Each structure stands twice: as structure tokens, then as C-alpha cells.
Amino acid sequence: MVRAAVLPAVGSPLEITEIELPDPGPGQVRVRLAAAGVCHSDLSLTNGTMRVPVPAVLGHEGAGTVTAVGEGVSRVAPGDGVVLNWAPSCGRCHACGLGEVWLCEAALTGAGAVYARRADGTGLHPGLNVAAFAEETVVAADCVLPAPDGVPLTDAALLGCAVLTGYGAVHHAARVREGETVAVFGAGGVGLAALQAARIAGAAQVVAVDVSPDKEHLARAAGATDYVVASATTARDVRARTGGHGVDVAVECVGRAVTIRTAWESTRRGGRTTVVGIGGKDQQVTFNALEIFHWGRTLAGCVYGNTHPERDVPVLAEHVRAGRLDLGLLVTDRIGLEGIPGAFANMEAGKGGRALVVF
């Protein structure tokens, strides 16, 4: 039996309870978690913005140590450190054939299966495949990546979502070039990673935008050259800091209609806006036909940073070892399983960066 945070139903509070994990079957791996990040996507699963089968153990950003492997598993062995990959690509679908593995049609197939049980025998689903809000988990072998050398497992947990997403949004989706100006909307875990990525890309000016004035020190430590507290005049304020033109690239990490629209308005004529945040169906963004023509801006979505985890995690690790990427900077709270509801509350209030469950 291991302790886990269980979502019994959409809209219900998490329950910290013991669950029973089976031995790993063919093609499976059992992992003892070192740490798991609390992501806004987990909050979106609890309130129904995103849907997975329930009851479920949430948590999709984590790292730990392999304790056992099932038949046919050769990529890892007991004792190996691993980073969890919640969206493995199948390599066979249309998207994978195009090289767009982040859009794999089969990525979340595992979330529909029962992987563990409560003490009363109730089946549990692995939220977003990996069920990282637990002391241990059992996952498909393609849901683990070798943990990079020289990066503590507690830090490496962040590579599984926040850093891959923020870095990828800047480097792969927005394709920020040296000397460009960038605005990042939202200074949570993903936003702080995006700010560091913009600095690594050689952006000449990096404007951070957030509702909280208290995050300015974090944003500047991550690489922001300017800080704007969100208001009704945000777009005007961002343009004023860029000679009146607007930024070349805006990266939206919030997922709200008003923020997406503001990010778009903050870019220069011909600029690029990349939307990373996950919003609900009720978040409607509107444009008129004339402004789309006149401004010539590009608005694009971004899934998982448009990354290929097996390719990009080693690149990120090298940035960490070289001192260019500070994973610890993203973490503003270290908590236990019982602290997850409080971390969700802080997200809803716009407080802090990444909360990290440390086992």
C-alpha cells in the first residue's frame, strides 16, 4: 500500500488515502517518486476544465527511482533515476508521422485504464497517464525517460512538464530569435521557465506580465528586463516599453480569454502570439476581420511546448549543468501530499510559482 492523492469525482476535494499498486506487468515500470510538481493542468482536471476518467490519482510532472520492471522492459532497470513523461508518442499515428509527436493521437490512451485500487477495491485511473501524486506509481515503459546526470531528482521532476512546456513554447512554437523582444504573460511555473528560455534564446528585451506585484523579483531573476502588473492598460503598457511598437513575440501562459486577447494586442504589427495556457470552453476570444488583416499578427496554440521529450530533456539538462537554467527558481513551495489543495488555492489566487510535492 502507498499513500496517494485521489480525485474521487470532478469537483470533489482530493482525498489523501492508501492505495494498492499491482506489480508491473509486461511493458510496465514501477517508480518510487522523489518529487512531483503541482501543475495548473491538475487543477483543470479537478474542476472539469479538462476531463479524465475518475476516480483518479492526478499528478503528471514527476521524477523518481525505478523499483521494478515488467517483462520485456529493457530501457530502464531497478535503481535507475527517471523523469515521467505524461504524453508518450506512439510513433504510428498521423501526427507522429508528420514529426509532430506532441500531438500524438494515442498519447493519453493509458489514462483510460484502471492501474491501481483503493482499499475497498474501487478501481483507480492514472490521471494523465502517470499518477505522480503518490509515493509510488506503475506506468508504461514509454512514460519514463532516463533522468539526466548531474540534476537532482527533485529538480528533474520539473522537466516533465513546466520546463519542457515553457522552454518549448519559446524555442519550438514561437521560435524566438536572438535580438527579438518577448512578453511572457503569467509568472507561474511555466511562465518562469518561458522567461528563462527567452533569455537563453538571446532576446534583447523580456517583459513579464502578471496580476501579482509580488512576483516581480522572481520574474527578474528568471530573466525579465521589465515587469508589468496586469491591468486594463496592459497592452498599452507593454507597447510603451517597446518604443510604442509592441513585442515581436508574446507567450500567454494563463489560458484566459482576456489574457490571450491582451497578449495578441501587445505584439507588434506582424508579431507572433503563442498560447500555452489551457482555458475552458467558455473562454471565448473574439477578433474582427479588419484587425486581423491590418495587424498581420500570428496567433498559434502550443501543446506541451511542441516538444519531443526524448530529444529535449537532454538539451534542458545541459542548460541546467551549464548554469543557464535554474530549476530551483521555479519552486516557491515544497509541500507534502496534504499541501496540494493549498497549492491549488494559491494558483487560483495568482500566488507563487511551482509548488513541489517532495516525498
The residues, any chain, with a CB within 8 Å of residue 171's CB and separated by 6 or more, are: 197, 201
> Tens of pLDDT along 272-282?
999 999 988 89
Lowest mean pLDDT among 47-56, 150-159, 243-252: 47-56
Kindly report the CATH number assigned to the domain that includes residue 62: 3.90.180.10
Which residue reads 484502471 in cell numbers? 114
Tell me: do 151 and 50 sit in the same domain.
Answer: yes
Q: Tell whether the model's pLDDT for residue 173 goes beyond 90.
A: yes
| Average pLDDT for 99-111 | 94
- pLDDT more than 90, % of the chain: 92
Q: Would residue 311 count as lying in a domain? A: no
CB atoms within 10 A of CB 51: 10
Q: Tell whether the model's pLDDT for residue 48 goes beyond 90.
A: no
Q: Would residue 278 count as lying in a domain? A: yes
Of 288, 303, 318, the position where a domain reaches its end is 303
Q: Would residue 120 count as lying in a domain? A: yes
How far apart CA 20 and CA 119 sit, in angstroms, is: 7
Q: Would residue 309 count as lying in a domain? A: no
pLDDT of res. 322: 96
Tell me: do 223 and 98 sit in the same domain.
Answer: no
Tell me: do 118 and 195 sit in the same domain.
Answer: no
Per-residue confidence band for 167, with pLDDT thresholds at 50, 70 and 90: very high
Q: Tell whether the model's pLDDT for residue 50 goes beyond 90.
A: no
According to DSSP, the β-strands at 28-38 and 61-69 are antiparallel
Tell me: do 191 and 290 sit in the same domain.
Answer: yes
> Tens of pLDDT along 290-317?
999 999 999 999 999 999 999 999 999 9
Tell me: do 191 and 240 sit in the same domain.
Answer: yes
Q: What is the SS3 assignment for 294? A: helix
Tell me: do 202 and 132 sit in the same domain.
Answer: no
* Pick from 347, 160, 343, 169: nearest CA to 252: 169
| Average pLDDT for 177-196 | 97
Domain of 22 in residue numbering reads as 2-160+326-358
Tell me: do 236 and 222 sit in the same domain.
Answer: yes
| Average pLDDT for 233-238 | 98
Which neighbouring-strand residues pair with 209? 185, 228
Q: Would residue 308 count as lying in a domain? A: no
According to DSSP, the β-strands at 81-84 and 144-146 are antiparallel
Alpha helices for 183-323 (secondary structure H): 189-200, 216-222, 234-240, 257-266, 289-295, 309-321
Q: Would residue 108 count as lying in a domain? A: yes
Which neighbouring-strand residues pair with 301? 275
Per-residue confidence band for 350, with pLDDT thresholds at 50, 70 and 90: confident
Dihedral sign from CA coordinates of 183, 83, 117, 6? negative
Beta strands (DSSP E) in the chain are 2-7, 15-20, 28-38, 56-57, 61-69, 81-84, 116-118, 123-126, 136-140, 144-146, 181-185, 205-210, 226-229, 247-252, 267-275, 298-301, 331-335, 354-358
Q: Are 272 and 302 in contact (CB under 8 A)?
A: no
Q: Would residue 154 count as lying in a domain? A: yes
- pLDDT more than 70, % of the chain: 100
Per-residue confidence band for 352, with pLDDT thresholds at 50, 70 and 90: confident
CB atoms within 10 A of CB 315: 13
Number of compact structural domains in the chain: 2
> Tens of pLDDT along 310-335?
999 999 999 999 999 999 999 999 99
Tell me: do 153 and 108 sit in the same domain.
Answer: yes
* Pick from 2, 5, 1: nearest CA to 357: 5
How far apart CA 168 and CA 330 sit, in angstroms, is: 16
Per-residue confidence band for 49, with pLDDT thresholds at 50, 70 and 90: confident
Task: Provide the whole-model pTM.
Answer: 0.95
Tell me: do 21 and 120 sit in the same domain.
Answer: yes
Q: Would residue 83 count as lying in a domain? A: yes
Tell me: do 128 and 234 sit in the same domain.
Answer: no
CA distances from 100 to 89, 105, 127, 319 (A): 9, 10, 23, 24
| Average pLDDT for 143-154 | 96
Dihedral sign from CA coordinates of 41, 134, 359, 327? negative
Tell me: do 124 and 240 sit in the same domain.
Answer: no
Kindly report the CATH number assigned to the domain that includes residue 261: 3.40.50.720
Tell me: do 337 and 295 sit in the same domain.
Answer: no
> Tens of pLDDT along 3-41?
999 999 998 999 999 999 999 999 999 999 999 999 999
Q: Tell whether the model's pLDDT for residue 157 goes beyond 90.
A: yes
